[in-house]
Structure 1
Amino acid sequence: MTDLYPVAKIEETDAVLVDFAERLLVLPDLTDGTVMSLVEATVLRLNDVNRRLGSVFETTERDELAYYLIESLEDVGLDVAGLMARQGRERYELTDEWRDW
């Protein structure tokens, strides 16, 4: 079980997600550019965790990470489907542009 869930993976992933949530709560506005910049920065940090630790995110975890970001944005009142429609994409594609995992 420790191979699937190494401590470094859990700690580093949690740190990225906590930082995302904290930054989301203090965004000055929820404009498309501001939100997409935050998502991009978070996904790039998750890419770094995954790369440094040796492709540690499993298929289910990849989907869960993306949905965590989507649901967090929706929890603060953002219409993610609308945001993504303005980008010419679907709601579930929020992380696809930058995601390596």
Structure 2
Amino acid sequence: MPERPTAGWRHHLEEQRAQRRAGTLKEGEDWALEAYPDSLIAATDTALADFEQVLTRTDPESDTAVLGAVQHVVLALNAANANHSDAAYDTDEREALCDYIDQALVGAGVDTDALTARQGLERWEITDRWRTW
């Protein structure tokens, strides 16, 4: 599986927490501390871990099964976003999550180009019908 976006979020948090403890972080530069609350990281990690597990049991050639897995993870991420005032995932986070979903599908043996073509979608649109973030 690809590295989850939350790994990078945790890295930014740890870096800024260390800088804060050292007194080297200037006021207003602690963007990660606000952008990535522990509750958001936990909810996102749970959704992605569930997705990873579902993919291990999903037939990569079944459009219905694959799209069901995508729908499930997107709805879980919608809930995480909603629990954080519908402002949890900015552009960078949205792109990272969509890229993660795509890479996880490819890693599970899904031909995403063929799947999306059969669905009349562009590859980057695979999450769009359910995504609110």
TM-score higher than 0.5: yes
Q: What range describes the TM-score normalised by the shorter chain of this pair?
A: over 0.9
* Structure-1-length-normalised TM-score: 0.94
Matched, 1:91 2:106: no
Task: Give the letter aligned to residue 89 of structure 1.
Answer: L
1:34 and 1:16 map into 2 onto residues whose CA distance is: 17
> RMSD in angstroms over aligned alpha carbons?
0.8
Where does structure 1 lack aligned partners over 5 or more consecutive residues?
none
Structure 1 residue 56, shift from structure 2 partner: 0.8
Structure 1 residue 90, shift from structure 2 partner: 0.6
2:75 and 2:117 map into 1 onto residues whose CA distance is: 22
Matched, 1:32 2:32: no
Structure (1 or 2) with the larger CA radius of gyration: 2
* Structure-2-length-normalised TM-score: 0.73
Task: Give the letter aligned to residue 18 of structure 1.
Answer: A
1:32 and 1:49 map into 2 onto residues whose CA distance is: 26
Aligned to 1:20: 51
For the residue of structure 2 that corresponds to 1:3, the secondary structure is helix
Structure 1 residue 22, shift from structure 2 partner: 1.0
Aligned to 1:56: 88
1:34 and 1:56 map into 2 onto residues whose CA distance is: 28
Aligned to 2:9: none
State percent identity of aligned pairs. Answer: 39
Partner residue of 2:110 out of 78, 89, 92: 78
2:38 and 2:131 map into 1 onto residues whose CA distance is: 22
Task: Give the letter aligned to residue 39 of structure 1.
Answer: V
Structure 1 residue 23, shift from structure 2 partner: 1.1
Where does structure 2 lack aligned partners over 5 or more consecutive residues?
1-31
2:66 and 2:108 map into 1 onto residues whose CA distance is: 11
